[in-house]
Amino acid sequence: MPPSTEDRPMKRTLALITAAVLAAAAHAQTAPVPMGTGPGVHSPDSPFAPLPQRGDVVPWSVLTSVKTKVDKNRVLPAFQAEQLALQQKPQRVQGFMMPLEPGEKHTHFLLSSVPLTCSFCTPGGPESMVEVKTKTPVRYTLDPVVVEGRFALLADDPYGLYYRLTDGVSVK
């Protein structure tokens, strides 16, 4: 039985929507992501990116520009010269605390390039987070924090992280 004339507009609309989605997906797979955009990076005009500019911290643009490679069904970082220059050296990182456990103070947490906008959303991938282990507890805050410590690149972390800062201390 042929489709009724009432079904034709609905099928045409669905076909157009499907074509638009497929075209957008094809474009997304072939279009390069411009530097300073993508996961973990927000527009400076966004109300969700209030990180003040500081010259004494590692810029997130350096961390988020890491390349990746696929190895045995895993996505691993392929660090470039600008990330390799940070390896095992004292560095300062500015970001937003993502506690790993409940509490007022923390010695083990993640720093994110953008603030958490909801309790069950992550702001980006592993390129936009740094695992932090501090010598003394840091009080949780919604404001950006700066932590200084020994910076490590993680080539094959079991949790999928790319960066870790150890022996950290909070910097005002």
Distance from C-alpha of 160 to C-alpha of 154, rounded to nearest angstrom? 9
| Predicted confidence (pLDDT) per residue in 75-131, tens digit | 999 999 999 999 999 999 999 999 999 999 999 999 998 887 655 555 678 999 999
Give me the pLDDT at residue 18, please: 42
Domains along the sequence of the chain with CATH: 60-171 (2.40.50.870)
Tell me whether residue 12 is exposed, middle or buried, using C-beta atoms within 10 angstroms of its C-beta: 0 to 12, 13 to 18, 19 or more. Answer: exposed
Q: Is the pLDDT of residue 152 over 90?
A: yes
pTM: 0.70
Give the range among 40-54, 76-90, 142-156 with minimum mean pLDDT: 40-54
